């Protein structure tokens, strides 16, 4: 049966093309993010400036999220993703130029910093479209009965790129400098654009084309809040990302606490993704849909515990192991969350549901970066990380106690129903 085949989704040609697109895009995106983090902290030596990067991205991403979901549900997905990638390439080109001595000769550091923030702000606007478009497109490529398998390989590809992108970015800063590292990012984004064209256009499944925006947005929000499995998964992940934001402070740890330089920074940044990637490869062979609610709670609890250990450590290898185990637990959490969203969301509402998810989870990445920057400024980087991990642990324990329904969540019957329908 397809659900027992660990390579079921990989037997679909367009899904493999989609994975190549996502790999190139995420590799470039994550590489660009840490290169810019490094450059901004080098310009300012202020941890709060790292938080401002997150704030500049969350403002447009959050405010545009619902509207972006409405547009995604109304438009053809392949071309919309191509448009988003083309626009993102302009941001990468702009950052490349802002780190070129020939272009910024005579500019004050403050001027360069503000220009970087402006491009990050534009990137946040595009970010609101990327998530819903990708989420909707993959559901049009693979059959419903193999969504969990597709979610595993999709998340694994994301994690592989998130491993290699930051690691390569950290080494590239030392090898060739920030400027040429960003040139590589621009090339990767353009590559993802051209590969995407090998995927055919997909039908628009929304029966309410032309529906008023306000009614469309209300329908999406109502669906999320009445579907307890989706709401619970989003809330847990939002809290974990918001308060477990050790990643945003890695430049501080690498430069000032662990003193491991740009190469060590790249290794630390990649460690969580290595753990998550290994975990998700294992989940391709060992389905985790049974007792999904309890498994998700345990995974996020393990994530919070790993973050606490990282914050307490001043030894490089202990910090590295803590981040690695945070990735292992996050990998389990990611596959379960994506499976819940794919299974529980109707085709015609995928854009809007994904947009609500981005408001809960995606935006909390940037808000978490800002929270980490502020708390690091007030109480020091190490204390801020321990505080965030502790808040994650408290949230998981509280959810397990007050929500027995979510604790007992099982996706097995949903998967069997989809298989019978097809």
Sign of torsion, CA 73 78 83 86? Answer: positive
> How far from 368 is each of 185, 247, 250, 373, CA to CA, in Å?
24, 10, 13, 8
The string of pLDDT tens digits covering residues 281-318 is 787 777 666 777 888 888 889 999 999 999 888 889 99
Residue 418 pLDDT level (bands cut at 50, 70, 90): low
Q: Which residue has the higher pLDDT, 228 or 77?
A: 77
Identify the weakest region by mean pLDDT among 71-75, 176-180, 343-347, 388-392.
Answer: 343-347
With 70 as the cut, is the pLDDT of residue 141 above it? yes
Lowest mean pLDDT among 156-165, 191-200, 234-243: 234-243
Query: In the structure, what pLDDT confidence band is assigned to residue 246 with cuts at 50, 70 and 90?
Result: low
C-alpha to C-alpha distances, 381 to 54, 280, 313, 373, nearest whole angstrom: 16, 30, 12, 8
Weakest-pLDDT range from 186-190, 212-216, 366-370, 402-406: 366-370
CA distance 336 to 388: 23
Report the percent of the chain where pLDDT is more than 90: 18
pLDDT digits (tens, 9 = 90+) for 183-220: 999 999 999 999 999 999 888 776 667 667 777 777 77
Q: What per-residue confidence (pLDDT) applies to 86?
A: 94
55 to 119, 345, 369: CA distances (angstroms): 13, 30, 8
Q: What is the largest CA-CA distance in the chain?
A: 67
Task: Please tell me the distance from the alpha carbon of residue 330 to that of residue 304, in angstroms, as a whole number.
Answer: 10
The pLDDT assigned to 1 comes to 39
In this predicted structure, what is the pLDDT of residue 305?
A: 92
In 3-state terms, what secondary structure has residue 284?
coil
pLDDT at 138: 87
The least confident of 105-119, 366-380, 390-404 is 366-380
Look at residue 3 in the predicted model and tell me its pLDDT.
Answer: 45
Confidence of residue 125 (pLDDT cuts 50, 70, 90): confident
- Spacing of C-alpha 261 from chain mean position: 25
The average pLDDT across 148-154 equals 81
209 compared with 113, residue with greater pLDDT = 113
The whole-angstrom separation of Cα 310 and Cα 323 is 7
pLDDT at 191: 94
**What's the whole-model pTM score?**
0.71
User: What pLDDT is attached to residue 2?
Assistant: 42
Question: In the chain, pLDDT over 70 holds for what percent of residues?
Answer: 90
- The yes-or-no verdict on residue 263 having pLDDT over 80 is no
**Is the predicted pLDDT of residue 355 greater than 70, yes or no?**
yes
> In whole angstroms, how far apart are CA 239 and each of 111, 224, 361, 362, 364?
34, 17, 8, 11, 8
In 23-58, which positions are buried (b, 16+ CB within 10 angstroms) versus exposed (e)? bbbbbbbbbbbbbbbbbbbeeeeebebbbbbbbbbb
């Amino acid at each position: 049966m397809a659900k027992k085949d660990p390579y079921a989704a990989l037997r679909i040609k367009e899904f493999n093309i989609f994975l190549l697109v996502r790999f190139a895009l995420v590799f470039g995106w994550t590489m660009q993010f840490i290169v810019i983090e490094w450059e901004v902290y080098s310009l300012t030596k202020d941890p709060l400036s790292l938080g401002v990067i997150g704030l500049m991205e969350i403002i447009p991403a959050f405010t545009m999220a619902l509207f972006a979901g409405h547009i995604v549900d109304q438009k053809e997905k392949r071309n919309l993703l191509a448009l988003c990638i083309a626009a993102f390439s302009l941001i990468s080109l702009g950052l490349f130029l802002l780190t070129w001595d020939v272009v910024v000769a005579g500019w004050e550091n403050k001027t360069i910093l503000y220009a970087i923030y402006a491009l990050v702000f534009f990137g946040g606007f595009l970010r609101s479209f990327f998530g819903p478009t990708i989420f909707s497109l993959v559901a049009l490529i693979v059959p419903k009965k193999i969504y969990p398998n597709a979610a595993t390989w999709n998340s694994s590809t994301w994690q592989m790129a998130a491993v290699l992108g930051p690691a390569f970015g950290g080494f590239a800063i030392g090898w060739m400098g920030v400027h040429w590292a960003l040139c590589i990012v621009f090339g990767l984004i353009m590559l993802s654009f051209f590969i995407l064209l090998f995927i055919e256009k997909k039908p628009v499944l929304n029966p309410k084309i032309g529906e008023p925006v306000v009614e469309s947005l209300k329908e999406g929000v109502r669906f999320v809040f009445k579907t307890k499995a989706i709401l619970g998964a989003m809330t847990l992940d939002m809290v974990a990302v918001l308060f477990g934001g050790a990643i945003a402070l890695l430049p501080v740890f690498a430069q000032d606490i662990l003193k491991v330089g740009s190469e060590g920074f790249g290794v630390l940044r990649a460690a969580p993704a290595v753990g998550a990637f290994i975990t998700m490869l294992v989940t391709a062979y060992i389905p985790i849909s049974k007792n999904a609610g309890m498994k998700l709670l345990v995974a996020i609890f393990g994530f919070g515990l790993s973050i606490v250990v990282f914050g307490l450590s001043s030894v490089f290898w202990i910090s590295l192991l803590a981040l690695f185990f945070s990735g292992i637990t996050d990998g389990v959490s990611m596959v379960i969350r994506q499976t819940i969203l794919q299974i529980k969301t109707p085709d015609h509402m995928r854009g809007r549901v994904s947009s609500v998810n981005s408001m809960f989870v995606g935006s909390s990445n940037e808000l978490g970066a800002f929270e980490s920057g502020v708390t690091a400024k007030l109480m020091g980087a190490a204390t801020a990380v321990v505080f965030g991990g502790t808040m994650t642990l408290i949230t998981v324990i509280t959810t397990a106690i007050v929500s027995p329904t979510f604790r007992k969540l099982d996706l097995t019957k949903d998967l069997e129903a989809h298989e019978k329908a097809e």
